[in-house]
């Protein structure tokens, strides 16, 4: 079973077709160079499409996909990162980072109390080094940090 690369090949063909279609929709400006804004993207899409065909015809052996539990782990990690990105301006850097860094430390094997401590330490450490010492702008929440 070499299904992964074949699926990838189909996706590549899909990407190629979709973006060629989108490229034809790019409005042609009144004044343009001989090539215009459409041609190069279409060339790239053709390349992607060809590699898609290649993947379907000559797939690699199946990669080692992790078990469902691990996929959920990756999914949960992604959800935490997305939540972090969205909540950063609302909560401010320090609070949001305590939770995100603590969560990661916990999932990588720290006990809960240690993870909480790690989250606090990482957050405050970055705040002190990058904001207080180096003057980098971090997200300000309602509390100002």
Span 53-72, contacts to another protein by CB under 8 A:
54-55, 58, 60, 63-66, 70
Site string for another protein, 67-106 (x = CB under 8 A): ---x--xx--xx--xx-xxx-xx---x---x--xxx-xx-
Please tell me whether residue 47 binds another protein under the rule CB under 8 A. Answer: yes
State which residue, 108 or 143, has the beta carbon closest to another protein.
108
Number of residues that bind another protein (CB under 8 A): 71
Beta carbon nearer to another protein, 28 or 143: 28
- Nearer CB in complex with another protein: 23/145: 23
* Tokens 């609302």, located at residue: 90
Applying CB under 8 A, among 1, 3, 35, 132 the residue interacting with another protein is 35
44 burial level (CB within 10 Å; 0-12, 13-18, 19+): middle
Residue among 113 and 135 whose Cβ is closer to another protein = 135
CA distance 92 to 112: 23
Helices (H), the chain: 3-24, 39-57, 68-91, 93-107, 112-126
Which residues, in sequence order, are CB contacts of 126 under 8 Å at separation 6+? Answer: 93, 97, 138
135 binds another protein (CB under 8 A): yes
* Shortest spacing between CB 30 and another protein, in angstroms: 9
Helix (H, G, I), strand (E, B) or coil at 66: coil
Q: What is the DSSP letter of 132?
A: I
């Amino acid at each position: 079973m070499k299904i992964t690369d074949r699926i990838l090949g189909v996706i590549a063909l899909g990407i190629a077709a979709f973006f060629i279609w989108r490229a034809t929709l790019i409005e042609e400006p009144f004044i343009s160079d001989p090539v215009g804004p459409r041609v190069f993207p279409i060339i790239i899409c053709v390349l992607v499409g060809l590699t898609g065909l290649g993947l379907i015809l000559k797939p690699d052996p199946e990669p080692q996909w992790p078990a469902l539990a691990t996929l959920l782990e990756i999914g949960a990690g992604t959800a935490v990162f997305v939540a972090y990105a969205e909540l950063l301006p609302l909560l401010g850097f320090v609070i949001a980072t305590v939770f995100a860094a603590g969560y990661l430390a916990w999932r990588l094997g720290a006990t809960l109390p240690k993870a909480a401590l790690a989250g606090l330490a990482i957050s405050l450490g970055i705040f002190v080094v990058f904001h207080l010492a180096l003057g980098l702008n971090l997200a300000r929440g309602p509390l100002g940090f």
